[in-house]
Each structure stands twice: as C-alpha cells, then as structure tokens.
Amino acid sequence: MNSRAVMARASSSTAALLLVSLRPEQWTKNLFVFAGLLFGGRLLDSNAVAVATATFMVFCGLSGAVYLFNDLADRDVDRRHPIKRMRPLASGQLAPAAAFVTAVAIGLLSIAVAFMIRRDVGWVAAGYVVLLVLYSARLKHLVIIDVLTIAAGFVMRAVAGALAIEVPISQWLLVCTTLLAVFIALSKRRHELSLVAEGVTGHRPILGEYSEYLLDQMIAVVTASTLVAYCVYAAEADTAVRLGTNRLPFTIPFVLYGIFRYLYLVHQKHAGGSPASLLVTDRPLLACVALWACSVALLLYSPLGG
C-alpha cells in the first residue's frame, strides 16, 4: 500500500471516528426547536418551516461540538465507565487535537449560521455553547445545578426556535419545556447511578451526591408538575383563544402515557441513559410522541380544532 493510500485510509478512519463522537443519533433532542413552529401557528408557512429547520441544523452542529468538548474533558474518567470507555476519545482511537479542532470549527460555523438566521438566535446559540462548556468544565460537578444546566440546554433550543420564526415565547412553552427537560435530566442521572452503583464516585464524583431515593423523590415532584402544567395549559381559556381551539385537552392522554412509559423504561428496564436513543428504539414511546404531535397539528391546523 503506497503512502497516499495509507494517508487516505487514516483520514477516512479519523473522519468516521469524529462522526461517531459528534453523536448524530442524538438529533432528536433538538426537536425542541420546533415547539414554537407547532404552537405558534406557523407550521403551514413554508418559509417558517425552512428557518426552523435551519435552526434545528444549527443546534445539531452545536450539540455535536459540545459532545466533543465533553468527551475531551471526560476522557480519563470515561475509561472507567462500562459503556463510555468505548468512545473514540476514551479508547484512544481519536487524537485529542483532531477532536478539539473539529469542535471549534463546527461550533464557530454553527454560531455564524445562527447569527445569519437572526441576531437573537445567534446570541442564544452562543449562550448555549458557553453554558454547556461551563457544564463540562465545572457545573456538572455541582449537585442539582448539573441537572438544571442540562435542562436549560433544552429550553434554549425551544427559545431559539421561537425567536428564529419570530413568534411570541409563551410562558407556558417555557414552563412545560423546563419541567419536561428536568424530568429527562433526572431520569438520566438515575440511570447513570444504577449503572455504576459500585465505585460510583470513581467515575463521576457528582453521582455520589445523589441516591436513588433522592432522585425518585425529585422525579415524582417533576412528573406531577409536568402533567399538571400541561393539563392547565391545554384547558386554559387563554390557550383556546390564542390557538383557536378548545380541544387541546384531547391530547392529554398522550402526554400521560408518554411520561408513564418513560418512567416504566427507567425503573423497570433500567433505560434512560440516552433519552434520544430511547425515543427512537422504544416503539410504544415513539408512537406516542408521533401521535401527540399529529393530534396537536390536526387540532391547530384543521377544521377539527374549531
């Protein structure tokens, strides 16, 4: 094999490892960007759909860059994790320098595109990167703050999506998104705690500040709060006036089932470590989310909602 072929093979291998490290399978987390499009009455506006999709792609790039930074910071402790030790950086297959350069390049490009979409979107995108880099460097070591920071990342996606298409950011959008994001983050922590129950502080010291009982109590509070918030939002008279339908409560059963299904998977199937993977691999959960989205769209954008 000549030198050119060797270099091409090495380059291809590095590119493949970088792609894996960007975790494209986590794209479902960025669907929060479309909340404003759906509930802002712009779903049938092709220009708004295009702008929201561009914003979605921006956050796919930003989250990928953040994953690279996080893997760089955690590569030593990840080697002691039963699953994360197989990641390209933790396993030593991917050079840290290549990961760093790629993360910076993708991050800067994504922020530049965000500013091209709308200045406010650019500032949210920049804030998202700063927040998540701070999370990787320090905030993930602070009990409760670590969970709230993860949740804030989801909320910023929804805010950016609303700003991109210039629809008002509903207080209910913020409340429901925040509670749902905290629910997901707490469930993720619980899964991590159960997965590495022995020698937990050796992998991620912050997990030593939690217990399954404490997390279960927090999850119970947030679960109830999320359900109540969505039910009040769906049944409120102001919502009916703003959205043009009083039938949104018909979507409540999908929310109930979705949250209960997620809890079932976390507690009975010991899942929840990767919410994005869980969404696309668990068919009942995927069907529930799809049916909820379709029912909301049907009620808001067809005569059935009148």
The 3-class SS string of 93-109 reads CCCHHHHHHHHHHHHHH
- Check if the beta carbon of residue 62 is closer than 8 Å to that of residue 22: no
105 pLDDT more than 90: yes
Record: fold of 18-168: Tetracycline Repressor; domain 2 (1.10.357)
User: What pLDDT does 200 receive?
Assistant: 46
Q: What is the pTM of this model?
A: 0.86
State pLDDT tens for residues 4-50: 443 344 445 888 888 888 888 888 889 999 999 998 888 889 999 99
Task: Record the tokens describing residue 255, joined without a space.
Answer: 């929310």
280 pLDDT more than 90: no
104 pLDDT more than 60: yes
H helices present in 196-282, as ranges = 200-203, 212-235, 237-243, 252-268, 275-281
Instruction: Name the residue ranges covered by the structural domains of the chain.
Output: 18-168, 170-306
96 pLDDT more than 70: yes
In whole angstroms, give the CA distance from residue 134 to residue 120: 21
